[in-house]
């Protein structure tokens, strides 16, 4: 069975389904994220409604759908204080208040005319002296609500009555595909087949258990892990050059450093050194917590390339971080180094460019300027990218394009949970530095209410009088009419009145020269307080800074708070981090802040951040959250969502191992299961992986 024949019925347009014209197809495509029949089949229900007929609202069960006959007696339009959005409220003779989250009063009055009985279906909950039901379904008769029904996510203008027949027609197009899952795994987990799982959720004949949800979630996870495993294999086998070196320059650098590497640093160095010495291209992620000593590892890796007669470059997202690397390399490197950044101009720029081009400067340090047109290297063999998440993949490749068969080392101070490593970073080999180097000071983390700010400012005045420096971090740049976030410009103005001439300001909308100037003034002691947004989250190293105050801390992600906290504790003096929260703090928000207070282990914090946030943002320039899956496991409430996230993570772990075993046994996916796995890759749009297989 060829792939094109097997899947063609699923790749057809939604318009080929009976009763689905262009307008309805567009609405369905908007709801399900694509115009194909396959996209509709992958648009799983939010939940399966199992409805219980009741005669009185008091009979409703918690978190269960009920069907109840009601008689509307009054309808009005209202506004939510929390969201400032209008909604329509309908009071009924049965003391159930119905709320519809939209503002079309006339449509609701037609749907539920006063004095005429109607049937509603939804979650009925106690409220005050009566009950409430949010956005119930409405029918003219009890027969309008089957006892068991799939509830799909919809979009404006699309009704369940439009989606249900389209889904039933799509299920009829579903071919019986060969099984790509391992037979012992299916037996152990008691999972149904792929097509059976889709039918159990879209057209349930009995209330499904977790098995069909898990089967489909695992299919998607395995497709992703197979694609990443193929990409990893290509990277591992890509031709490269051996950069062995004799260790002489590295020995001199370690002597200048004055300390032996920590065990974790030594392990990372050994892994990177082996990769560099091998005749294949390196693509490795070096992750380490704030202050773990990644820079020393990068310096020694670059010197190994130089020992082998080549050049190396390190690229940083900001000039201040690039200059920090310059200072480190000037202390440790036995060979010439030079900086290329926007501020390097005139004769100095010409000197640096000439040194890169003729090889007399073997180590380059810079910002985006390194991969600009006109920058040439004599023999670039190793590119190091610091704070990888601040660059795009294209920028990383542009730097690598400055040489032939360039090895790549990317670094991040964002501790990455194992699940995210297996998804976003899965094409890379990973080295991890868990500990901190000698001499790092512990940071005392305290939680305080905004009501205590006057007291905090008084204590800060005493610290500044002792010559200490402080960061003051807020979320917003300017105030907004509908946002009560503290603004950097407002706080800067207020603190400037209290501490004249001692306050600087840095945020993302400042001209780069002004922002870099504010950071330099703070680093060199011309100011003692730096009011900033998260632009200081990475790459700012001021050992004299001993205090960081983060306002409205409950609104930051845990990983971001940990990164910000890492701006202090870099010198010889004790340091402190003040997490200042709004006066009203929920239990969930308090739990998150207590995690940060009680540990400095960034990997523990990252795992907790992933656990608490569940599905949401993907790791990119934003640093927390979980990978989005079309068929990922979900939960209807917070506790269920957490259980689903934990199980999803376990499935990803299983799929990673399964993918490696499958490709080890069947390199070209030529066996019956391998051929079926090729279909799986195509089903989940992993065309790049399919092309890698075709290329051998």
pLDDT at 1 exceeding the cut of 60: no
Both tokens of 615, joined, read 């599905």
Residues of the chain with pLDDT > 70, as a percent, come to 90
The region, left, alpha or beta by phi > 0 then psi within -120 to 50, assigned to residue 462 is: alpha
| β pairing state of 148-151 and 47-50 | antiparallel
> What is residue 428's predicted lDDT score, i.e. its pLDDT?
76
Does position 391 have pLDDT exceeding 60, yes or no? no
CA angle 380, 382, 386 (to 5 degrees): 120
Q: What is the pLDDT at residue 289?
A: 76
In the CATH scheme, what is the homologous superfamily, with its name and number, of domain 52-145?
Nucleic acid-binding proteins (2.40.50.140)
Structure confidence by residue, pLDDT tens digits, 630-677: 888 887 666 777 788 788 888 988 999 999 999 999 999 999 999 999
**What does the pLDDT read at residue 407?**
92
CA distances from 334 to 58, 261, 266, 310 (A): 80, 18, 20, 15
Residue 608 pLDDT: 75
Q: Judge whether 135 and 87 are in contact, CB under 8 Å.
A: no
Distance of CA 657 to the CA centre of its chain: 23
Query: Are 443 and 568 in contact, with CB atoms under 8 Å apart?
Result: yes
Q: Which of 227-236, 328-337, 392-401, 517-526 has the lowest mean pLDDT?
A: 392-401
Q: What is the mean pLDDT of residues 299-326?
A: 92
Question: Could you give the CA distance from residue 468 to residue 448 in angstroms, rounded to a whole number?
Answer: 21
CA of 494: how far to CAs of 457, 473, 504, 553, 583, in Å? 11, 14, 12, 19, 20
Q: What is the average per-residue pLDDT within 253-282?
A: 93
For residue 401, pLDDT over 80 is answered with: no
Fold topology of 443-599: Rossmann fold (3.40.50)
Contact 610, 625 (CB under 8 A): yes
Q: Kindly report, residue by residue over 86-111, the tens digit of the pLDDT.
A: 889 999 999 999 999 876 888 899 99
The pLDDT of residue 624 is above 50: no
Assign 602 a pLDDT band (cuts: 50, 70, 90).
Answer: confident
% pLDDT > 90, the chain: 53
> Which string of b and e fits 32-56 if b means at least 16 CB within 10 Å?
bebbbbbbbbbbbbeebbebeebee
Grade residue 604 by pLDDT with cuts at 50, 70 and 90. confident
Q: How confident is the model at residue 393 (pLDDT cuts 50, 70, 90)?
A: low
Question: How does residue 83 score in pLDDT terms, banded at 50, 70 and 90?
Answer: low
SS3 193: coil
Q: What SS3 state is found at 470? A: strand
Grade residue 400 by pLDDT with cuts at 50, 70 and 90.
confident
CATH of domain 248-433: 3.40.50.300
pLDDT on residue 113: 95
- Global confidence as pTM: 0.67
pLDDT value, residue 398: 72
- Domains of the chain, by residue range, sit at 3-46+165-207, 52-145, 248-433, 443-599
Statement: residue 615 has pLDDT above 70:
no
Is the pLDDT assigned to residue 405 strictly greater than 80? yes
| 212-226, 328-342, 531-545: segment of lowest average pLDDT | 531-545
Tell me how far apart the alpha carbons of residues 447 and 592 are, in angstroms, rounded to a whole number. 11
Residues 566-590: tens digit of each pLDDT:
889 887 788 999 999 988 888 878 8
Q: Bigger pLDDT: 420 or 384? A: 384
One fold for both 248-433 and 443-599?
yes
**For 116-174, how does the pLDDT look when each residue is reduced to its tens digit (9 = 90+)?**
999 999 999 999 999 999 989 899 888 878 888 898 988 888 888 899 999 999 999 99
pLDDT over threshold 60, residue 4: no
Closest CA to 627 of 421, 448, 479: 421
């Amino acid at each position: 069975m060829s792939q094109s024949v097997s899947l063609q019925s699923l790749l057809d347009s939604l318009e080929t389904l009976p009763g689905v014209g262009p307008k309805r197809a567009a609405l369905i495509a908007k709801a399900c994220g694509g115009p194909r029949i396959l996209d509709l089949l992958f648009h799983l229900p939010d939940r399966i409604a199992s409805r219980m007929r009741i005669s009185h609202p008091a009979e409703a069960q918690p978190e269960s759908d009920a069907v109840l006959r009601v008689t509307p007696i009054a309808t009005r339009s209202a506004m939510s204080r929390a969201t400032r959005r209008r909604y329509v409220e309908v009071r009924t003779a049965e003391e159930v208040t119905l709320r519809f989250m939209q503002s079309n009063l006339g449509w609701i009055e037609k749907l539920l005319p006063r004095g005429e009985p109607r049937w509603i279906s939804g979650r009925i909950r106690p409220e005050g002296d009566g009950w409430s039901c949010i956005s119930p379904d409405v029918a003219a008769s009890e027969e309008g609500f089957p006892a068991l029904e799939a509830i799909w996510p919809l979009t404006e203008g699309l009704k369940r009555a439009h989606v249900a027949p389209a889904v039933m027609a799509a299920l009829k197009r579903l071919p019986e595909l060969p099984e790509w899952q391992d037979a012992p795994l299916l037996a152990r987990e008691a999972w149904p087949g792929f097509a059976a799982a889709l039918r159990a959720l879209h057209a349930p004949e009995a209330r499904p258990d977790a098995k069909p949800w898990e089967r489909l979630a695992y299919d998607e996870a395995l497709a992703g892990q197979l694609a990443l495993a193929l990409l990893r294999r290509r990277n591992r086998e890509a031709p490269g050059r051996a950069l062995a070196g004799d260790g002489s320059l590295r020995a001199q650098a370690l002597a200048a450093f004055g300390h032996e590497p920590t065990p974790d640093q030594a392990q990372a160095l050994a892994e990177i050194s082996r990769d560099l010495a091998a005749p294949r291209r390196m693509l490795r992620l070096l992750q380490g917590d704030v202050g773990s000593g990644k820079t020393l590892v990068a310096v020694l890796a670059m010197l190994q390339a130089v020992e082998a007669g080549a050049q190396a470059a390190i690229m940083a997202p900001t000039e201040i971080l690039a200059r920090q690397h310059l200072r480190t390399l000037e202390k440790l490197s036995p060979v010439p180094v030079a900086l290329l950044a926007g501020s390097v101009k005139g004769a100095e720029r010409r000197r640096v460019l000439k040194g890169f081009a003729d090889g007399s400067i073997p180590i380059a340090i810079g910002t985006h300027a390194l991969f600009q047109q006109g920058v040439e290297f004599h023999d670039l063999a190793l590119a190091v990218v610091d704070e990888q998440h601040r660059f795009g993949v294209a920028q990383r490749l542009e730097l690598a394009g400055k040489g032939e068969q360039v090895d790549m080392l990317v670094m991040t101070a964002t501790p990455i949970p194992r699940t995210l490593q297996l998804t976003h970073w899965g094409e890379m080999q990973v080295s991890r530095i868990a500990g901190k180097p000698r001499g790092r000071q512990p940071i005392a983390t305290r939680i305080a209410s905004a009501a205590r700010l006057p007291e905090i400012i008084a204590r800060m005045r005493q610290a500044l009088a002792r010559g200490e420096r402080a960061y003051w971090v807020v979320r917003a740049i300017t105030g907004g009419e509908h946002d009560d976030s503290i603004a950097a410009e407002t706080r800067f103005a207020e603190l400037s009145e209290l501490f004249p001439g001692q306050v600087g300001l840095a945020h993302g909308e400042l001209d780069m020269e002004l922002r870099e100037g504010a950071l330099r003034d703070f680093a060199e002691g011309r100011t003692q307080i730096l009011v900033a947004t998260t632009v200081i989250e990475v790459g700012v190293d001021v050992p004299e800074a001993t205090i960081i105050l983060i306002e409205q801390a409950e609104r930051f992600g845990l990983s971001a708070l940990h990164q910000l906290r890492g701006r202090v504790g870099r010198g010889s003096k004790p340091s402190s981090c003040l997490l200042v929260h709004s006066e009203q703090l929920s239990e969930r928000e308090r739990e998150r802040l207590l995690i940060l207070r009680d540990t400095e282990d960034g990997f523990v914090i990252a795992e907790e951040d992933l656990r608490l946030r569940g599905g949401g943002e993907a790791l990119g320039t934003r640093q927390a959250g979980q990978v989005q899956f079309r068929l990922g496991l979900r939960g209807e409430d917070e506790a269920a969502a957490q259980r689903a996230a934990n199980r999803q993570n376990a499935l990803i772990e299983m799929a990673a191992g399964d993918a490696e075993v499958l490709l080890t046994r069947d390199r070209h996916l030529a066996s019956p299961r391998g051929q079926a796995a090729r279909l799986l890759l195509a089903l989940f749009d992993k065309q790049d992986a399919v092309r890698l297989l075709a290329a051998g």
